[in-house]
Structure 1
């Protein structure tokens, strides 16, 4: 699209919204349809570590991430994650994190679930990315999940 002055017109393609509703995901990223890429949405629960969300949002504007895209589960496989025979995706070596790619009723989604594994309903945080989310963004998120660097947290 061109403006009357010969410059490209800029339009908003993505939004990042935080909405602290205790019954809904706090973080929502929506991206508009662009060219052949359909619109997509990603949501993150309130307790999702900021490093995970930052890895995802940083990849939105990182052309190197786009061009060096690996399959979304490649970082998990490289870090020794194994397939869970009862789920549709890999599980972290300690069993705390599950990544699932689910197709239901014609819709695809990535689900990331972090749970302590001690009791039912023990989810610490989760994320949901619809199936149209570009693979390089999913790979950025799975790469962040496998990052072994210590993170300083305020007690």
Structure 2
């Protein structure tokens, strides 16, 4: 079987050892391009200054996503300015927050709101998280006790969402969302946090913890590139679909003709 597998590998390519990690909340930070490449493909503008945190701004200039690898505690900051329909809000996520969970929130920033009221706790309950009241607060804890999401009640800006994960050695991450954070974004974050799907990390980037389960896999660089490109392509297609109604009819006709004339040449 191994000889046959090696014969099927493309010439000049060697497989790289990776690991599928469960639960995803304890997988470690991962490659931040998973977040930033998707936002760029969705039309977000790079606002990074020299020797400053990486930063992208939404096309409407209302929301900014930044990542600080230099200072402590560093990590992710998502900030939205106030609008006529929405109060200012902010979210902070630690450096060790898995990028797949961060993307649950940031991907949702590029998508229109659903007409249905979001249910933050539904994806957690579906994965058998323990939910309930702690006095005036509401909490949810993963079945293994490693991850949590809390809503701390308070008046005005004192209400917060608090999430995180921690292994048996105390290593992990935390995230805080101000009370004005739109519920559909918190719900998207909760769904990514509770997802049972494992995440992949390369050899040497697997946390040392007895609470995680790993599965070794051999992956070709071309496969990794194809998976990353598929995500970027999906972001571009969604952005194009959102902007399509705003394109004038004449401009649309010229753009659809141009590739065909080029193909003829």
User: Normalising by the residue count of structure 1, what TM-score does the alignment of the two structures yield?
Assistant: 0.81
Q: Which deviations, in whole Å up to 9, do the C-alpha atoms of 1:61-90 show, x marking residues without a partner? A: 212x53345221111112111136767401
2:209 aligned residue: none
Change (3 A) 1:29 1:142: same
Distance in 2 of aligned mates of 1:100 and 1:124: 16
Alignment match, 2:181? 133
CA contact (8 A) 1:33 1:39 kept: yes
Alignment-derived partner of residue 98 in structure 1: 148
In structure 1, C-alpha distance between the alignment counterparts of 2:176 and 2:72, rounded to whole Å:
15
Q: Offset at 1:54? A: 0.9
Considering Cα pairs closer than 8 Å and 6+ residues apart, tell me whether 1 or 2 has the greater RCO.
2
Residues 24-65 of structure 1: CA deviation (Å, up to 9, x unaligned)? 2411000011223100001110011010111101101212x5
Paired with 2:76 and 2:123, the residues of 1 have a C-alpha distance of 23
What SS does structure 2 have at the residue aligned with 1:90?
A: strand
Secondary structure (helix, strand or coil) at the match of 1:66 reads coil
Residue 78 (structure 1) aligned with residue 129 (structure 2)? no
CA contact (8 A) 1:46 1:125 kept: yes
Q: 3-state SS of the aligned residue for 1:67?
A: coil
SS of 1:80's equivalent in the other structure is coil
The gaps in structure 1 that reach 5 residues or longer are: 1-9
RMSD between aligned alpha carbons? 2.1
User: Contact conserved, 2:138 with 2:150, CA < 8 A, in 1?
Assistant: yes
Higher helix share: 2
Map of 1:3 onto structure 2: none
Is the Cα–Cα contact under 8 Å of residues 59 and 66 in structure 1 kept in the other structure? no
Pick closer, same or farther for the CA change 1:45–1:98 going to 2, 3 Å: same
In structure 2, how many angstroms separate the alpha carbons of the residues matched to 1:142 and 1:67? 19
Shift of residue 128 of structure 1?
Answer: 0.7
Number of equivalent positions: 142
Q: Assess, with a 3 A threshold, how the Cα gap between structure 1 residues 105 and 136 changes in structure 2: closer, same or farther.
A: closer
**Superimposed CA distance per residue, residues 97-131 of structure 1 (whole angstroms, 9 cap, x where no aligned partner):** 01111134641111102012x35xx1401111111
For structure 2, the residue ranges without an aligned partner over 5 or more in a row are: 1-58, 204-265
Q: Please say which structure displays the higher CA radius of gyration.
A: 2
**1:39-58 alignment runs, 5 A limit:** 39-58=88-107
What is the rounded CA distance, in whole Å, between the counterparts of 1:44 and 1:129 in structure 2? 9
